[in-house]
């Protein structure tokens, strides 16, 4: 197993994400303690739930807390900015300021505004829900037919491809996110080989535009028991000429910062990558894993 020392965790959430906790400085100290070279904080900027629930005609006093938790990302982002502007970073770690840009094409004006923010080092492009559908987290897959699940996944990969063609991000985050619930939580088998061609299209789009993909290691610690994307797709990305790969724990608290990062690096190495990347001002820097 590769040592975590000297690696970079490019995907974490702190208290400035509606579903996460802990002060950003606590994340940084955890990363420093682990010996990481660099740590990114990439709080949720979900474009389709940017404003408070009422803005979308939802009565938040009547809704379940879980159903409205991701609304009002704007407020969290603004609060985060005012704290992160003043953050004092220890000398021996690089702090990467980022955002996880969710569903940019579902509120493109907001996305365009966010990606022009000058303080950002890294933008992760994510799709947590298909257009006009709830987050994959909320869907009841045991009440769906296999044709319905297939349609969901067809739409998911199509919409990820569309997002990559738009390209307003640095790194495509956690490709295969719905599998975390479909395969992980609900134990429903999905034949990913059906999506190999569209994933190839996604990767080619990412590669031509000089972007990269993430190996998200959070799934190693829940029911999915795998990375997102899994090894087969990371290999496909490599075979198509992909060179830029980041690692992300997707930690939602300080205790989880760096979780799975050395296993992610090991996987990248097994797929033929000699380097992993981290970002400063939207430009990749590389760390050898040879």
Residues near Zn ion (CB under 5 A): 100, 126, 250
User: What is the rounded CA–CA span in Å between residue 105 and residue 85?
Assistant: 28
CB of 100 to Zn ion, least distance (A): 5
d(CA 272, CA 247): 15
Nearer to Zn ion, 9 or 100 (CB): 100
- Distance, in Å, from the CA atom of 80 to the CA atom of 22, rounded to the nearest integer, reads 12
Q: What are the φ and ψ backbone dihedral angles of 229, each rounded to 5 degrees?
A: -75, 165
User: Cβ of residue 246: shortest distance to Zn ion, in angstroms?
Assistant: 12
For Zn ion, give the closer residue by CB, 74 or 180.
Answer: 180
**Which of 228, 276 has the CB closer to Zn ion?**
228
- Rounded to whole angstroms, how far apart are CA atoms 259 and 4? 9
Angle of helix 196-208 relative to helix 146-166, nearest 10 degrees? Answer: 10
Nearest residue (CB) to Zn ion, 100 versus 121: 100
Nearer to Zn ion among residue 240 and residue 253 (C-beta): 253
- Contact of 49 with 57, CB cutoff 8 Å: no
| Shortest Cβ 215–Zn ion spacing (Å) | 13
Closest CB 177 distance from Zn ion, rounded Å = 6
CB of 218 to Zn ion, least distance (A): 8
- 248 has which bridge partners? 216
């Amino acid at each position: 197993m590769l040592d975590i020392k000297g690696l970079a965790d490019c995907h974490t959430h702190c208290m400035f994400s509606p579903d996460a906790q802990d002060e950003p400085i606590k994340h940084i100290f955890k990363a420093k303690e682990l010996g990481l070279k660099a740590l990114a904080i990439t709080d949720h900027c979900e474009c389709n739930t940017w404003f408070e629930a009422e803005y979308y005609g939802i009565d938040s006093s009547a809704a379940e807390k879980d159903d409205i938790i991701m609304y009002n990302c704007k407020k969290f982002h603004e609060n985060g900015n005012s704290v992160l502007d003043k953050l004092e970073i220890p000398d021996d770690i690089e702090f990467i300021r980022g955002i996880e840009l969710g569903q940019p094409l579902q509120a493109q004006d907001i996305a365009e505004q966010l990606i022009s923010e000058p303080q950002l080092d890294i933008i992760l492009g994510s799709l947590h829900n298909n257009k006009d559908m709830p987050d994959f987290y909320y869907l009841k897959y045991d009440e769906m037919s296999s044709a319905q699940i297939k349609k969901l996944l067809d739409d998911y990969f199509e919409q990820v491809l569309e997002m990559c063609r738009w390209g307003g991000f640095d790194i495509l985050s956690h490709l295969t996110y719905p599998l975390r619930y479909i395969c992980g939580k609900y134990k429903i088998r999905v034949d990913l080989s059906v999506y190999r061609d569209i994933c190839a299209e996604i990767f080619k789009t990412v590669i031509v535009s000089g972007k990269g993909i993430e190996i998200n290691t959070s799934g190693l610690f829940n029911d999915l028991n795998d990375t997102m994307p899994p090894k087969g797709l990371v290999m496909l990305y490599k075979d198509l000429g992909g060179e830029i790969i980041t690692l992300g724990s997707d930690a939602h608290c300080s205790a989880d910062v760096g979780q799975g990062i050395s296993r992610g690096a090991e996987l990248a190495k097994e797929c033929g990558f000699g380097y992993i990347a981290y970002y400063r001002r939207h430009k990749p820097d590389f760390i050898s894993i040879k």
